[in-house]
Structure 1
């Protein structure tokens, strides 16, 4: 008996992406016609949700979730992930709606999946690139990822990347119901949780292209909040490591005392 085909869905959160959503869906469905798409719209006032609905009406591989308010990127992804799991998908992916992630490169992530529990499309591994970014933004992203990697002790070059594929079992094991990160730091949170669970993370190179239509949702306050959370997580992790080391030291000391009695 042949194995059942793997069902894959890409979760695409949207807010005011009326200029981008239809071109993205067209490219994605053309590049990977066997991959479904779940658009999660946070009540976009510019009509993004209506455009997605119209596309879904003529393409059975696309569906749309409508949320009543904008609660952050992480909240939209968590909603989409839960629905994807309820619908029985084996692999759940994520990507931006603004065209920064190239649908034509999704195949790179799919090819890496057999050896991983989470695949990340990375800007900062060999072969990855960024297009049309100012030097300041590149330095901020590289520096932020270096800070994250050093403070949290993880071997991921692009922990903030949003082009990913998760196995169903990965999302179940990291316990989505326990995740409280609702903003952009959600990406780092999930990567760390995956690694802490002892699961395999692979990074593959992608070309990240700066949006050409619409406005970025990233701001200085969002970046600052992300760094604040990562700093807190890093300090908490260092605290756990110190307590663990102190416990081992006390245990060895007690063993020596017992042996000399």
Structure 2
């Protein structure tokens, strides 16, 4: 197993410094994907990459394309660099980086599975986001005919890159905030099993969120609808999967 960390970054110049400081001790090679950030954030990322050049690679996107676009670019670089697994972490500091080794260990035990963060929220979680997750997780259960995926929106997860490469080489994945939902369902359809790890989530270091309540909820709803149509033609395979 040869893991790396992928962190998509868009204008989190304050939080990302703290995230980097927290993951440094694990010495896991990391790819920062600058998703068209401001000049201030870009300067911070450039400085961090130069200071930690022995374990950080900086990938700059010229325009903001969304979380999915940034992570997929990170996947392609990780695959090119020969990594076997990619651990995705958000840049705003909401994830418990102390769990990095738990995710890596789970990946070693289940190298062909996706290791998914199952959030344990504290009082900082916005209530509208919490209720929205319940709606999303219901639709994920419908679209997979399974309760295998405990949470489809947590951005703390470990992917097997062979499976990811197969998927992104043949399928268009959501480019924005719908990405986490889209890829996890499609990987499940592809036959990848899900291992759920409870992990603490706190919102966030710098108070900056790029989630647009109405716009992104509409995008996510469209993604659920598209996945529902895809599920319909996969019903026989999904039923059979539970009997094998």
TM-score in terms of structure 1 length: 0.82
Instruction: Output the CA distance in 1 between the equivalents of 2:139 and 2:193.
Output: 22
- In the alignment, what sits opposite 1:107? 101
- In the alignment, what sits opposite 1:58? 51
- In the alignment, what sits opposite 1:132? 124
Give, in angstroms, the shift of residue 137 of structure 1.
2.7
Give, in angstroms, the shift of residue 46 of structure 1.
4.7
Give, in angstroms, the shift of residue 100 of structure 1.
0.6
Match for residue 120 of structure 1 among 116, 123, 141: 116
Tell me if structure 2 keeps the 8 A contact 1:19–1:214: no
Give, in angstroms, the shift of residue 92 of structure 1.
1.1
Tell me if structure 1 keeps the 8 A contact 2:79–2:161: yes
- In the alignment, what sits opposite 2:200? 207
Tell me if structure 2 keeps the 8 A contact 1:146–1:157: no
Gaps of 5+ in 2: 240-244
Q: Kindly report which structure 2 residues correspond to 1:34-183, keeping only aligned pairs within 5 A, or say none.
A: 35-59=28-52, 60-113=54-107, 114-116=109-111, 117-123=113-119, 128-154=120-146, 155-183=148-176
Tell me if structure 2 keeps the 8 A contact 1:53–1:63: no
Give, in angstroms, the shift of residue 184 of structure 1.
1.6
Match for residue 8 of structure 2 among 13, 16, 39: 13
Q: What is the aligned-residue RMSD (CA, Å)? A: 2.1
Query: What do residues 97-153 of structure 1 show as CA deviations (whole Å, max 9, x unaligned)?
Result: 000112111122112112252101111xxxx33441133332221222123222442
TM-score in terms of structure 2 length: 0.87
Gaps of 5+ in 1: 1-5, 246-261
How many pairs does the alignment contain?
233
